[in-house]
Structure 1
Amino acid sequence: MTALTLPPLRLRGSYGLTWSVLRVHRTALWIWTAVVAAGIGGLVWSHRLSGTSGGLGGLPADDAGLRLAGEAMALLPFAAAAFAGGALIGRELENGTAALAWTQSVSPARWLAAKLAVPAALLTAGTAVLSLLFRWVWTAGPSSAAPPWYDDAIFLAGGPAGIAHVLLGLAVGALSGLLMRRALSGLGFAFFATLLVEVVLAMFRSHLWPTTRWTGFEAARLPHTADRFEIGVITAAGKYVAGPECNMDVPGEFRRCLADHGYTDAYAVGHPASHFWPMQGVETAIVLTLAALACVAAFALLRRRVA
């Protein structure tokens, strides 16, 4: 009895590889589509609630909705990392699907490039839509009700840095999957590696751009839009130290309070709202550089594994 042999599946050209990635991970594609659609609906709903009284949880409606949306978008890098480390790379290495694809006229480098490029394009498009809509809602209502720009979740959701963080999660996840070669361990390693990177970046975010120093009564009366993280007084010797709590509502009382304690003036150090875009640019460049380094490391590791 003659065995039935099937012709090998040929994935010719970029179209074949793209279609293969989309077909294999169609469940993840539908989930991502649902996430983007839910995010759009939630942001539009939050915008319609702007200006109403009561809101959600005792907060103004736009504040509560934006905070919820920002915190949800802050989870996207972790989801991208877990998907890349588990289903996208780790599972295919564990099941031998990747090795089978490499025998079907697809080189390991082209396989990994498709695995990264297709999700990267979809994640970039979806996150960009959410980010633009988030910024539209954020700037539509009164500034006094909207959450401040320097809040970590708001900062990432309202600019290109958030998109860069999602791409970094994807790259770290792919590298983790290649390192662990198992779905579950790749997922876990990718999640904690991304968590470490996100924590470090958040810790140094305020140092990405030179701070501004304010002096005088204006320093004590800075608007809520300024990220003020150091407040104090100036001594007669010109030293900047922590000072007493004085009534900031009346300039005359404020001055008398300073004089009674022997201080010449007040000061504050922080970031005004105008620093939002410079800090966005610097962080985006740093995060994209880290993502590129992770991709280079992933290709180098793959080349070494299959050599």
Structure 2
Amino acid sequence: MSTMTNTDSTLSDSDSAGAEAGRGRGRGLRLSGMNWLVWRQHRAAYWTMLTATAITVAVFVYQRHEMITYLGGYGYPDLKSGWEAKFDHDPLNVAAMMLGFLPVLIGVFVGAPLLAGDLENGTAKLVNAQSVSRVRWLATKLGVTALVVVVCTTALSAAFTWWWSPVKSSSYFTSWTDGPVFDNSGPVPVALSLLTVVGGVAIGMLLRRTLLSMVVTLGFTVAVQMVWSYFRLSLANVVTVTSHNGVGDNSTPNVPDGAHQLDESYLTASGDLIGWGSCAEATEKARDACLDKAQVVGWSVDYIPISQMSSMQWLGSSILLALTAGIVVFVILWGRKRLV
């Protein structure tokens, strides 16, 4: 009897240990604690971003396959002349335009309500009454949201860059220095989206009203993109090339393929520059007389080579990420004492 009892007891202990180990293994594969709570609370927004990203990446992959199929008929990667005539660039331009709205959408619909909703409906007070500290709650909210944003924007940026790269040197499309290309490739969309989402969180924390925070965040994201577009070209090291062959046909200096030309001026014998419109006279004879009087000997061209694109993007992204880190510190410090 006692033997049976001991055996049963041993089996029971064994089963309990096995079940506990099984549960432990299960927990290792799932979110738990504060991470699970944050995911559960904002799962609709997170799953929407992840699903939309997966669908968009699939479309980009398909469009890239179609583009390579077309370019293959013109000897890609060494393209023959004439390939641009029948190439349909609308899908690429539309995709670039739509991706330009990504930081705005993420900032308004993900960043602004993240804390404003909890502060408006009282959830923040409930969390504050628990054993979890405010700093941990804020850090988890920001961390999980930032992780989802980084995953989505990185995937979209990589897919768009992969799609656009075979034709990046062509002047047939939008210049690589313009927002539709520069801001949607490389690390820039990740950095811009993180800045707008964290800025939206800070705005929501201060205003404590979801709708008002979304409206103000919309203005903030638009302002960020306007300042960024003005600041973008200052990230480059401008290259200047000159010629001393006069100003007739085929006298301008050559610039590399894909380079973005900034300015073009007349070069005088003394090394001074004058605007190319300075001698825009009515007749050719009068124009030549003007050029002779100014002692013009050639051209001076300022440009940015496409080889600088990557370094410009990483430099700009590091500045954006530094601003983002500053806002995160503000959110943590303010929320630690004044959140509720």
Q: How does 1:42-81 map to 2 (within 5 A)?
A: 42-50=59-67, 51=70, 60-61=87-88, 63-81=89-107
Aligned match for 2:131, one of 105, 120, 123: 105
Question: Is the contact between residue 43 and residue 65 of structure 1 (CA under 8 Å) also seen in structure 2?
Answer: no
- Aligned match for 2:157, one of 127, 131, 154: 131
User: What residue is the counterpart of 1:17 in the other structure?
Assistant: 34
**CA displacement at 1:64 relative to structure 2:** 2.1
1:220–1:258: structure 2 CA closer, same or farther, 3 Å change rule?
farther
TM-score (normalised: structure 1): 0.82
Total equivalences in the alignment: 281
The alignment partner of 2:299 has SS state of strand
State whether structure 2 residue 258 is matched by structure 1 residue 225.
Answer: yes
* 2:43 aligned partner: 26
Change (3 A) 1:65 1:297: same
Cα deviation, residue 223, structure 1: 5.0
Greater shift, 95-104 or 173-182, is seen at: 95-104
Q: Relative to structure 1, is the Cα distance of residues 125 and 49 closer, same or farther in structure 2, using a 3 angstrom cutoff?
A: same
- Determine whether 1:288 maps to 2:315: no
Match of 1:174 in 2: 201
Structure 1: stretches of 5+ with no match in the other structure:
1-13, 247-254
Query: What is residue 276 of structure 2 aligned with on the other side?
Result: 243
Counterpart contact for 1:214–1:269, Cα < 8 Å: yes
- Root mean square deviation, CA, Å: 2.8
Q: Deviations over 1:131-165 (max 9, x none)?
A: 11111111134742554321212112111121111
CA distance in 1, matches of 2:266, 2:183: 33
Whole-angstrom distance in 1 between the partners of 2:152 and 2:291: 53
**Equivalent position amino acid for 1:44 in 2:** V
Larger Rg computed on CA atoms:
2
Q: Secondary structure at the match of 1:225?
A: coil
- What SS class does the counterpart of residue 81 from structure 1 fall into? helix
The structure 2 residue matched to 1:95, chosen from 121, 141, 150, is 121
Amino acid at match of 2:50: T
Q: Is the 8 A contact 1:84 1:177 kept in 2?
A: no
Unaligned runs of at least 5 residues, structure 2: 1-30, 74-84, 244-249, 280-287
Give the CA deviation at 1:21: 1.4
| C-alpha distance in structure 1 between counterparts of 2:336 and 2:262, whole Å | 47
- Matched-pair contact (CA < 8 Å) for 1:77–1:166: yes
Q: Distance in 2 between matches of 1:103 and 1:142?
A: 55
Q: Which whole-Å CA distance do the structure 2 matches of 1:215 and 1:68 have between them?
A: 37
SS at match of 1:270: strand
Q: Distance in 2 between matches of 1:218 and 1:43?
A: 42
Contact 2:251 2:298 survives alignment (8 Å): no
SS in 1 for 2:300: strand
Are 1:82 and 2:99 counterparts? no
Q: Does 1:206 align with 2:233?
A: yes
Q: Distance in 2 between matches of 1:207 and 1:148?
A: 16
Q: State whether residues 174 and 180 of structure 2, in contact with CA within 8 Å, keep that contact through their aligned partners in structure 1.
A: no
1:265 to 270, 282, 298: 298
Work out the percentage of aligned pairs sharing the same amino acid.
30
Shift in CA distance, 24/239, structure 1 to aligned 2, threshold 3 Å: same
Letter in 1 for 2:179: D
